[in-house]
Structure 1
């Protein structure tokens, strides 16, 4: 017998001796561990057949799945299946030992074949892998793979079940770089020192005692100070709930009830013309107290918030001054994705508190998507019984299949707002002058609703009630369209506009939610329809037919691909009857149908993501008095022109620019940063602060595109007036409430600054003017940096302690360190931020101002010392 056969026999003997008599899911979960390694993000250059495998734009990576047995017994050769999440399409698992099957979305099943001989204790098995696109961040690999044995409860792989751990092995070489080209350096302590230093000298707390976030329109310092240890609030016009909200904010800052008198009243047009607008106010502060005159109740509320913003935590001295102020935009928004991963009501309430403090006034709640339905709707229990839960049920009768790293149990993938909880949140927001805008995404991104209504259909059919079963059915059962959505779902991701149940469903939904708003005391004024991404991605520009010869496009059998609803008999009947010419018209037609339903409920505004109104001649194509577009193109892909076009067609246009305002994106370019990054790999607070929304072309002179490349934008001849701007907190890979807060804060403060206040360094819009980083020099960047340092000083000295006191898990400043022969030069993103250092990476000391230090390991820490940030090494180890 050969040596090779002797070794094989020995392994088989070991497996036979130590294996379980039958597969045991719980034991497998305790033993198996799964890691992912990237060998090359330049898959084609490394020999991978990216185009032949059907990769979008022929972009793929070569890597490995590393399966390890960390247990004391052998893993059996069969009788079990492994399930894992992947945000990248797995194009090939190149091994005869396992078969792989895509189930839905990011969920894959890996099954042992007859070639798999089992896994001995301590043994690793490396399975070659080809994925679409690339993996540049450790968060690209999702947690909670799990194992299933028939007849047993699914078991998480315990070594891979934490939200904090990384299951992507460290990227080596240039694999951290975007394969399409990366011009920016990796974020390291040394690189940060250069970046932060270039923004100018930091300011002391006393230098910004009169500055507030957001900045005011104008102020006049009067000399003298008001001592604030507590406040006696006597505010007419804000109502009992508004007064209570302000008192709660004061208490949250450590101020006593009673003390410096603060009066307030509504004076309307008696204010100067430029601040006699909704939300406008005048604030006078002197040594005796403060007085607010508001154009309306919101103005009184905001004037009081400015006083609270000027007041240090636990009280102190506030400069005497007169402030005259008004909002830049009517719409100052924050979108929260509750659908992908649920956030607890207490977290949303904390967000509302902070939005009110910084004068944001629109809370856009994304309440449904493919991965979850998050609001109880009376009469439709399956929406939350099924659509708000994830579990391992291949029939999806009890729940949705696991997605986004949720694993087989609910985790952050489960949860919803009861009717009462939603009413309470709306009421809470109303008392803080914040409008709640509910969004239920359709006709695409509707899988949670479609699957839930199929569960309802089966229940009622079994009960012998076919008419009731079909009342809210959202799909055409005879539709055989072959599609793949943006996040890899089949035709069940699309609500079918051609079946009568879809229109009845929208009517039911709008009616029930409008009633909730009435009960909360905030009539529903804006309904967000969603409307985005109703397409089959395999029909996009990055693909070609199997006979195609373009090496830069993936090959697919285009004859087998359909547009959404392309093979739906119900939709084909509408074409035959002349109601539509093709299924391409259905998304817009359905949006118009929804607008009529919304208008019938006396809701004045319907909103949609911009692709939801694609093809409309203008806002007048819709039945509501106003149609609002949430514009989410990137600047380097043409949003300056697109946003202007929408505004000039009569749409109320809200900028949601992903390259500046998507807060699920990384703060900086580092693989250890978490976040999606399709539009930007580094969106820090400075970048948000630098955004010039009134003059979108200007931004091309300040920031590059996602790869660090300069791009050019020329102003169009038709300037546009936008309704406002909005930050987006998408949650595909934001699984915990603490991570949500790290993504939102402090970037939301910079958002509030730009939404409320137009800075002097923002240039007026001039038709025909061209901007490009490194080429044109029109923007006063010295003024921008000086303004940033004012903002950063208020953030560091005054607002960060307030966030900590409110229990907000904001992202700390990362260490910025420049080594030298002597003591190292050290700085932070904003003054007042604390750093800790260590010589061994285990024992930590807090850096004191002016302290000379030489140390290799650094991390940020909150001012109260309760939370520490990511450890960074100057040596890169």
Structure 2
């Protein structure tokens, strides 16, 4: 009340006296609106094309749109001023506003402004104003609406609207109703409810703890239990004959983290004996583990194998001092050479500490490639000596329309730099990460995305150009410039940026910039004792989406009903109006504009090879116009394959392998960790590739026989699809799980999205399931094919789920990982409550008094309940809880 009275007094004083400066008046308006406006979004029509909205004529891609009601409620004094703007994020293009008192303007990326028109008649105190607008596509998850809208006016300091300054979108949304969770009317996805979760979990039973005690994750090639157990209550004593000091320190740190005494009694010998392995077992990372009553022996084929053998021994342990493990013999080696995790820190920044925690878990589960996505349109995250603008401007987001001090806000980061959108790793931070990874046998693969997804770099180098040009240092100003100033190409990128999203591949200064960045990062790797073995070029999505198949020209000779109508004559391919690129094509260096990104990739590969870097890596679409892997200068060329299986990826992956590329399977519909865990609007994530990927789905992914997945999973609309490969193939090089960060802000959200499902990715990267069929060209899989041993798949999952619930999640707790606690299932029959959970072993709780009292659920004595019942699952350490649901 005090704030409102103060604001009202100020407003009256300004109105009556007219003596305040315009600047003060602007600030008052900003403060009033920011403090007192309540924003609310509500989906009015989800399936616009099916319910009469003019999606096609408005130019919506694939003629798909929805109608959103944006309600502004003024809980403060009346507002008559028209000279203000609200900046807000919309990940969908806004096609039409249906309230003539307001207009919406696209700024860049997802940033838009809402401002009054001349017809605006003010906000009365207590008034609610509805602003309906038509947006492209659909809105199915709460995080489609980004937080931290903010107000500006004149030269006033921008202020975040308090009602949107929250990490929980539900605070400013109206829940979806009825079938609004469906993308289209034919969507057959099942909404996650207590009852549907209960049904899904019902085939996973609690397995006796002694039955899972001998299970190592990820699963070894061979495990033979020998019938005894060994108590570790008095700790272990390691006789290390092989591991370097840093790797041994990492082992000790893991033991300490889990509360295991490493200065105890039970003897553990660690050694390397390559000669003890048969020829077909001599693989990097191979090991033997023998546990007897008298002691344990870890025998590695190499240092990495010895390290993994120790991780397997630790895998058998529980947290705390009271430990007993079974006696056994293990022979093990990895399935894939490349077992990766990719983390995007460009869209939103994640702390060094969170990255180190991830590296810890990668080591524990034998993943060996950390693909570090360090730049994107929304941020540049690594210090480069000599190019301070990259981090001082490209690593920071704030409200600066000139973008000479920071990038404009994106993804709901708000008007200041105190947000998840700002941040970078200093040179020392990066060195710390490299050394930490090296001690755990993990290669760090830096990715600087280019030529697309490069806006942070382009804007930063433009700011550098302006600074040096103003000082008259033109040669220096042009040295690392990335944008042709005469390029007038009209381009819209996948995330709605313009031509400044692209590094121009036709400029020598672009190549010089790349050389500079690689040189500096390579020097950091050398300083850390981890040679730079792989350079990731990025390369993805270098296109104008307005020229995609989802649009057609307004004058198309044969118009279709399912594509958006736009004037495509006004659209350009990237670089099409760059004089520098026009000359390159005129001179015959490149045949056409489509091939410029691949041309640039080949040019960068020459730089990479010239620096002695062995591997060149990219997202596969960035290389699609190169003939094959031999077009590049490095001996090895890897591609992260990210075609969606139900859109043909089950066939095209093998074609890439046959072109000589080392294919790293990275399919969005199975191993993208930015997709939601389940079909529940409250879950976090984008969902363009699939509506949900939980730990079970990731566990059931067959990465070598991609068509097989059509029998065990559905497409994004919950429908079956068919898949078959068309060519014989040399096979794949690896598997990688990806975390893109558009919807992932703070570290807790990051760890929620990655854990525990990344453990399933680790399992598939290391171990081939009994139920995985060999790939055969021409064999088609579908929901009706019945070629997969689903009983074997179920049995393996049930065991894996029990090991997570009974043992491994407690280790994540001990490591400080804020993993997702699964939401339980429940049903009420005859007044009795039945509950279950996807990872048996976790405690379950219920409440019948609106959460005032929580009772522990006992499956053997189902409680009688009446009225509303709230339920939740409890983390393994009892300190955190799942999302609460009710029935």
Q: TM-score, normalised by structure 2?
A: 0.95
Q: Deviations over 1:385-426 (max 9, x none)?
A: 000000000010000000001011120000000011101101
Distance of 2:416 and 2:872 partners within structure 1:
34
Whether the 8 Å contact between 1:231 and 1:250 is mirrored in structure 2 is: no
Alignment of 1:823-838 (within 5 A): 823-838=832-847
The number of equivalent residue pairs is 859
1:437 CA displacement: 0.2
Show the counterpart of 2:724: 714
Q: Deviations over 1:833-869 (max 9, x none)?
A: 1222111322131424334223621122213332222
Partner of 1:174, secondary structure, is helix
- Matching of residue 334 in structure 1 with residue 334 in structure 2: no
Distance of 2:598 and 2:32 partners within structure 1:
52
- Matching of residue 561 in structure 1 with residue 561 in structure 2: no
Alignment of 1:578-657 (within 5 A): 578-657=588-667
Partner of 1:38, secondary structure, is strand
Partner of 1:595, secondary structure, is helix
Unaligned stretches of 5+ in structure 2?
1-7, 19-24
Mean Cα displacement is larger for which, 285-294 or 713-722? 713-722
* Equivalent residue in structure 2 for 1:489, among 493, 497, 505: 497
- Matching of residue 250 in structure 1 with residue 255 in structure 2: yes
Show the counterpart of 1:535: 543
Show the counterpart of 1:136: 140
Show the counterpart of 2:311: 305
Partner of 1:319, secondary structure, is strand
Distance of 2:569 and 2:210 partners within structure 1:
69
1:309 CA displacement: 0.4
Alignment of 1:5-404 (within 5 A): 22-23=25-26, 24=28, 25-71=30-76, 73-166=77-170, 167-179=172-184, 181-198=186-203, 200-229=204-233, 230-259=235-264, 260-315=266-321, 316-404=323-411
Alignment of 1:483-522 (within 5 A): 483-522=491-530
Show the counterpart of 1:820: 829
Distance of 2:494 and 2:476 partners within structure 1:
32
1:117 CA displacement: 1.5
Show the counterpart of 1:472: 480
Whether the 8 Å contact between 1:484 and 1:491 is mirrored in structure 2 is: yes
Whether the 8 Å contact between 2:547 and 2:568 is mirrored in structure 1 is: yes
Distance of 1:813 and 1:86 partners within structure 2:
29
Show the counterpart of 1:858: 871
Distance of 1:622 and 1:428 partners within structure 2:
31
Distance of 1:297 and 1:264 partners within structure 2:
10
Whether the 8 Å contact between 1:75 and 1:120 is mirrored in structure 2 is: yes
Whether the 8 Å contact between 1:15 and 1:118 is mirrored in structure 2 is: no
1:26 CA displacement: 2.2
Q: Deviations over 1:219-261 (max 9, x none)?
A: 1111222212322222222200000000000000001131222
Whether the 8 Å contact between 1:19 and 1:75 is mirrored in structure 2 is: no
Alignment of 1:740-759 (within 5 A): 740-759=750-769
Whether the 8 Å contact between 1:77 and 1:117 is mirrored in structure 2 is: no
1:798 CA displacement: 0.6
Show the counterpart of 1:780: 789
Distance of 2:50 and 2:12 partners within structure 1:
45
Alignment of 1:667-816 (within 5 A): 667-773=677-783, 775-816=784-825
Mean Cα displacement is larger for which, 48-57 or 841-850? 841-850
Whether the 8 Å contact between 2:92 and 2:136 is mirrored in structure 1 is: yes
Whether the 8 Å contact between 2:844 and 2:873 is mirrored in structure 1 is: yes
Partner of 2:173, secondary structure, is coil
Distance of 2:529 and 2:650 partners within structure 1:
38
1:796 CA displacement: 0.7
Whether the 8 Å contact between 1:813 and 1:833 is mirrored in structure 2 is: no
Distance of 2:180 and 2:14 partners within structure 1:
39
Distance of 2:309 and 2:855 partners within structure 1:
38
Structure 1 vs Structure 2 CA RMSD: 1.6
Mean Cα displacement is larger for which, 86-95 or 588-597? 86-95
Whether the 8 Å contact between 1:81 and 1:148 is mirrored in structure 2 is: yes
Unaligned stretches of 5+ in structure 1?
1-12
Distance of 2:117 and 2:876 partners within structure 1:
55
Distance of 1:556 and 1:528 partners within structure 2:
36
Show the counterpart of 2:21: none
* Equivalent residue in structure 1 for 2:886, among 855, 873, 876: 873
CA spacing shift, 1:844–1:751, aligned 2, 3 Å:
farther
Show the counterpart of 2:854: 845
Whether the 8 Å contact between 2:47 and 2:184 is mirrored in structure 1 is: yes
Whether the 8 Å contact between 1:66 and 1:127 is mirrored in structure 2 is: yes
Show the counterpart of 2:415: 408
Distance of 2:465 and 2:740 partners within structure 1:
31
Whether the 8 Å contact between 2:654 and 2:725 is mirrored in structure 1 is: no
1:477 CA displacement: 0.2
Show the counterpart of 2:4: none
CA spacing shift, 1:131–1:14, aligned 2, 3 Å:
farther
1:731 CA displacement: 0.1
Q: TM-score, normalised by structure 1?
A: 0.96
1:759 CA displacement: 1.0
1:180 CA displacement: 5.8
Distance of 1:577 and 1:41 partners within structure 2:
50
Distance of 2:728 and 2:298 partners within structure 1:
39
Distance of 1:530 and 1:445 partners within structure 2:
9
Whether the 8 Å contact between 1:531 and 1:612 is mirrored in structure 2 is: yes
Mean Cα displacement is larger for which, 745-754 or 841-850? 841-850
Distance of 2:466 and 2:376 partners within structure 1:
22
1:342 CA displacement: 0.3
Distance of 2:225 and 2:808 partners within structure 1:
21
Show the counterpart of 1:4: none
1:15 CA displacement: 13
Whether the 8 Å contact between 1:77 and 1:119 is mirrored in structure 2 is: no
Q: Deviations over 1:477-527 (max 9, x none)?
A: 000000000000000000001111100000001111000000010000000
Distance of 1:284 and 1:767 partners within structure 2:
40
Whether the 8 Å contact between 2:431 and 2:527 is mirrored in structure 1 is: yes
Whether the 8 Å contact between 2:835 and 2:857 is mirrored in structure 1 is: no
